[in-house]
Chains A and B, each alone.
Chain A
Amino acid sequence: MFDRLRVMLMKELLELHRDPWAMFRLVVPLLLQLFAFGYAATFTVNHVATSVLDLDHSQESRGLISHFAATGRFDFVDFATSQADVTRDIDAGRATVAIVIHAGFARDLLNGRTGPLQVAVDGTNSNTALIALGYVGRIVARYQADRTGVTVPAAAAGASGVSVTLRERPWFNGGLEDRWFFIPGLIGTLTLIQVVSLTAFAVVREREVGTLEQIMVSPIRPIEFILGKAAPFFFIGLGEVLLITMVGEWWFHIPFLGSPLVMLLGASLFLLAALGLGLLLSTLSRTQQQAFALNFFIVNPFFILSGFAFPIAAMPAAMQWFTWINPLRYFLVVTRAVFLKGVGIAVLWPDLAVMGLLGAVLFGLSILRFRKSLD
């Protein structure tokens, strides 16, 4: 078995070595995506384009507006003079948020009544809208506190009675940096995309060129062929994991608190599953187009239903079930935990075990599916 495995491996490595673009294709898209996510992917809402309509023209209304300006979260793009201006700003997309302070704001406040303040938000991007509204609530609460000298939590603003003070102290990511969340997650996501497509195409290409027929007619066993095909991509996958981890730690300064060995174990089990998936796709495709379509069809749902960006707990039950058979789901838990929490096998063993199981099943299926026949 090892004789044939060795010649398969040698052949794969030579082909890879002769491909002048191989290094480029393996490293450049990975780094581009890594930096795109590192710098651009953030849930933080800043510089929200805001239209202001002050119909009260009082010291109090100007005070409220200056509270908005002071946070830096809101950029005033228009000081409107009428309600129609505000509507136009939102319709045209010039402003995401409109703040309308109605006449009588100062009078009502001075009389101890609730001042009429209207906030309109463009809800097209529900996430941004929600976060912007949260800021609005906090700024208004702060304004009220500054005016009255009493600290009132945002949610309880206006309510009287017991005063509760909230001191936030997030664990593992004290600054709540989105980057700390995304970059460890990218290790699994980018590696999955690369490894699945590389492996799927590697077999299909041989089928198209005709060399696969020449291999099938030889006495090679399916397991020798599959392992020989997969092994180089396993090491390529490990290299990519290492690359992203290093860039994450040294360029983006994401803390790496856990053990590199746990990361290595997790990555190996995850790669087993990813390779199995790629090989399975390749046995289901006759042409590179088919492999491409299948790859797109499979990898995107794996990405969306993994917890990389969208919380699994918020998904409908049926979608949550799918995440149980998604190896990326488990590897995301492992990478984030190893980076940020520094926990080890004692905590992560269930995730590692499931990845191993999925890997064994997918790999086994691809060996069974690889028939040495053209039927």
Chain B
Amino acid sequence: MKADDAVVLAQALTKRFGAFTAVDGLDLAIARGEVVGFIGPNGAGKSTAIRLLCGLLRPSAGRAIVAGYDVGREPEAVREHIGYMSQKFSLYGDLTVRENLQFFGGLYRVPRRELEQRMGLAVALAGLEGRERALVRTLAGGWKQRLALGCAILHRPPVLFLDEPTSGVEPEARRKFWDLIHHLASDGVTILVSTHYMEEAEYCNRIALIDAGRLVAIGSPGSLRRRELGGTLYELECSALGAAVAAANSAPGVIDAAIFGDKLHVLMAQGADTAELARLLGRARITAGPPRAIIPSLEDVFVRLVAKPRDRRSGA
């Protein structure tokens, strides 16, 4: 994609808090209608990156263009064209569903004629028909979340930033929320969403893996799985997982071994033989099932990618 086509564009975007670099040289280009997921552990810099793109924080270096406006120089113009859901739930609990919608619609100066119709759509979107007069604090998490999304899109922003919108929401409600996201994206809304639920990453067109303020990798879930691992992944059921990791790592052809739930995941170089691995495990008195080649999950990819730069650092 050419940079000119990007609805959200970050170039060497950096945010430092004192000596701490929260976002470190982020380069990113998102096309219209794309759903891009920020994936990474807590404290990786996902929220800071989103706040930079919303103009809530000023970049220390680099720049960002959102909906055609420079975030550092024209933050007010950016604000007119984006919707944002912060990590904290941020509607007014003492106001009703309708009053919250009226308030946010008013903040964005949605014309009164249209507001009524759009509020109706937002209520329908949240599945809150008939509960317009309920106080928001009485709603369950999933409804609150969908209502917050409804409030964030009342002014029809072409770009949406959602910072962990589904955290603390039950799985069923999370799935509904993602349906809404895709519905919006199909209307041409560009959406950047952060999450720490790995399975949610699969719902994104592209995933940006973020660790320690840096963009580690970006691509579609499928391409990340194929491209980034650089080998074949095997899964084994075995006893004494801790000892098994050590034994597997010493086997020839093994790139990396890691515990994955109650199983062992072993990444082996393309074409390497698993017989030697089984022999070494046997010698370490570990009872192991046969290694099965599996399709790596995104978590495998992430664990592998985040481990890589650390290996280099400790090796240096």
Contact = CB atoms under 8 A, between A and B. Distances in A.
B75 A10 contact: no
B88 A209 contact: yes
A239 B236 CA distance: 75
Given A6-B106, A218-B108, A15 B92 contact: yes
Of B82, B89, B94, chain A has the most CB atoms within 10 Å of the CB of B94
A217 B80 contact: no
A219 to B, nearest CB: 5
Interface string B105-138: 0111100000000000000000000000001000
Interface stretch (A43-51, A121-129, A367-375): A367-375
Interface residues of A, number: 25
A256 to B, nearest CB: 38
A217 B55 contact: yes
A51 B8 CA distance: 87
Of B75, B84, B87, B107, chain A has the most CB atoms within 10 Å of the CB of B107
Interface string B230-268: 000000000000000000000000000000000000000
Interface stretch (B96-104, B195-203, B283-291): B96-104
B295 interface: no
B82 A375 contact: no
Contact of B76 (A18, A214, A219): A219
Contact of B103 (A7, A219, A373, A375): A7
A210 interface: yes
B32 interface: no
Given A11-B103, A14-B99, A372-B75, A214 B57 contact: no
A213 interface: yes
A298 interface: no
B84 A7 contact: no
Contact of B92 (A4, A11, A216): A11
Contact of B106 (A4, A372, A374): A4
A353 interface: no
Given A11-B99, A14-B99, A374-B57, A218 B94 contact: no
Given A14-B99, A18-B95, A374-B57, A219 B108 contact: yes
Interface in A3-21: 3-4, 6-7, 10-11, 14-15, 18-19
Given A217-B56, A219-B76, A210 B103 contact: no
A209 B89 CA distance: 8
Contacts, number: 79
Contacts of A215: 107
B91 interface: yes
B90 interface: yes
B58 interface: yes
Nearest to A371: B58
Contacts of B58: 373, 375
A14 B94 contact: yes
A261 interface: no
B315 to A, nearest CB: 37
A311 B104 CA distance: 50
B225 interface: no
A219 B80 contact: yes
Contact of B56 (A11, A18, A209, A374): A374
A211 B84 CA distance: 12
A220 interface: yes
B94 A19 contact: yes
Nearest to A221: B76
Contacts of B51: 374
Contact of A7 (B55, B57, B89, B106): B106
Contacts of B87: 210
A6 B76 CA distance: 20
A217 B103 contact: no
A209 B92 CA distance: 9
Of B58, B99, B102, B106, chain A has the most CB atoms within 10 Å of the CB of B106
B95 A213 contact: no
B90 A211 contact: yes
A126 B86 CA distance: 59
A218 B107 contact: yes
Contacts of B91: 211, 214
A47 B270 CA distance: 102
A288 B107 CA distance: 25
Contacts of B304: none
Nearest to B103: A11
A11 B151 CA distance: 15
A4 B99 CA distance: 14
B102 A7 contact: yes
Contact of B90 (A6, A10, A214, A374): A214
B36 to A, nearest CB: 19
Given A11-B103, A218-B108, A374-B57, 5 more contacts: A15-B94, A18-B95, A18-B135, A211-B91, A218-B104
Interface of B: 51, 54-58, 75-76, 79-80, 82, 84, 86-92, 94-95, 99, 102-104, 106-109, 135
Interface of A: 3-4, 6-7, 10-11, 14-15, 18-19, 209-211, 213-220, 372-375
17 contacts: A3-B109, A4-B109, A6-B106, A7-B102, A14-B94, A15-B94, A210-B88, A210-B89, A210-B90, A211-B92, A214-B84, A217-B54, A217-B55, A217-B79, A217-B82, A372-B56, A373-B56
